[in-house]
Amino acid sequence: MDTGTNSSGAAKRLNAICDAQPFVTRFMARNLLTGETIGRGADEETPSASTRKTSIMMAALKAVEDGRLDLDEQIVYEKRLAEEVASGIFRYMTPGIVISLRDAITGMMVLSDNVCTKMVFERLTLEEVDSYCKALGLSGTHHRFLIPPLALSPDHALGAVTTTTAADQVLLLQTILDAQTSEDAAARLGCSQALCAFALQTLKNQVLRYGIPSRLPFETIVASKGGRGKRGRMDAGIVFRDGAPFYILAAYTDQVPQVMEDGTPGYTIALETIGRLARACWEEFQP
């Protein structure tokens, strides 16, 4: 079900951006100044790609809060951790490097490094992370793999990967944001407010600037996690303006052609579509 006042000028503009492309775009955008929420297929499950890592981070931080994990734990980079990995820099580095769990979480989020993702996820279980999402109300999010297989075809089934919804990601990001000032929100996440502050700062430290940040003013603060999958590109983040939270956008492209009719790679237009959605929110959302 779509959410929001879809007769508004902002909704018309956002939907027109999606209608202009031959692939599927699902999104949810929430104006944090007014509370208005606009959605398109926001409750439909879609491949999560690396946007799933925000929930992995929060599940790990809950385990830290529970005393089961330690952010200062030292982790050795072993050669096996680079197998079936297609993102990040650790796969090109010499085994034997030692980093902390805190740094592994950072690498997983700010560079989407899947060696770091393995380091973090091996200290949890799929069931633990999936149950954590369900407890938060992320009913459309299903963690199915530690790392998805590299040999997936572009038309793979949803059940072959971790899936989520745009609405779930907005809920998660909203809860992380609320936890900065609300003990109740932090309690829902199962973390102290200090750990929730670490989570938000880690999202702000994102260095991959395609997707949501790509059409925003250069120094705009965006607390986000993007992803790339065989079926499309995706990004979910909190956009700040003048130092204050402005809006949350979760956008997921799906069934993206490998090559567009004019020869442009499909992923280029997918990312451009997400950037245009973010720019439209920037210009249309006002108090």
> pLDDT per residue over 204-217, tens digit each?
999 988 999 999 99
CA distances from 5 to 11, 27, 37, 40, 241 (A): 7, 14, 7, 11, 23
Query: What pLDDT, on the 0 to 100 scale, is given for residue 5?
Result: 43
Please report which confidence band the pLDDT of residue 187 belongs to, taking 50, 70 and 90 as the band edges: very high
Q: What is the CATH number of the domain that holds 204?
A: 3.40.710.10
pTM of the model: 0.95
**Range of the structural domain that residue 249 is part of:** 9-50+137-284
Would residue 273 count as lying in a domain? yes
- Tokens representing 199? 């989570």
Would residue 104 count as lying in a domain? no
Does position 129 have pLDDT exceeding 90, yes or no?
yes
Average pLDDT over the chain, rounded to an integer: 94
Please report which confidence band the pLDDT of residue 156 belongs to, taking 50, 70 and 90 as the band edges: confident
pLDDT digits (tens, 9 = 90+) for 218-247: 999 999 999 999 999 999 999 999 999 999
Helix axes 126-136, 53-65, angle to 10 degrees: 90
Main-chain phi, psi angles of 242, to 5 degrees: 55, 35
Would residue 122 count as lying in a domain? no
Would residue 163 count as lying in a domain? yes
Task: Find out whether 173 and 250 touch, Cβ atoms under 8 Å.
Answer: yes
pLDDT digits (tens, 9 = 90+) for 22-75: 999 999 999 999 999 999 999 999 999 999 999 999 999 999 999 999 999 999
Q: What is the DSSP string of 18-77?
A: HHTSSSEEEEEEEETTT--EEEESTTS-EE-GGGGHHHHHHHHHHHHHTTS--TT-EEE-
Question: Looking at residues 101-113, what average pLDDT do you find?
Answer: 97
Which DSSP category does 89 fall into?
S
Query: What pLDDT, on the 0 to 100 scale, is given for residue 3?
Result: 44
Would residue 80 count as lying in a domain? no
Query: What pLDDT, on the 0 to 100 scale, is given for residue 147?
Result: 78
Does position 95 have pLDDT exceeding 80, yes or no?
yes
Would residue 40 count as lying in a domain? yes
Helices first, then strands: H and E counts in the chain: 9, 9
| Strand partners for 26 | 252
Does position 7 have pLDDT exceeding 70, yes or no?
no
Would residue 119 count as lying in a domain? no
Query: What pLDDT, on the 0 to 100 scale, is given for residue 183?
Result: 98
CA distances from 137 to 61, 164, 172, 232 (A): 18, 12, 9, 25
Question: Looking at residues 279-285, what average pLDDT do you find?
Answer: 97
Which DSSP category does 258 fall into?
S
Would residue 109 count as lying in a domain? no
- Give the containing element (helix H, strand E) for 280: helix 266-284
Question: Looking at residues 124-151, what average pLDDT do you find?
Answer: 92
Number of domains in the chain: 1
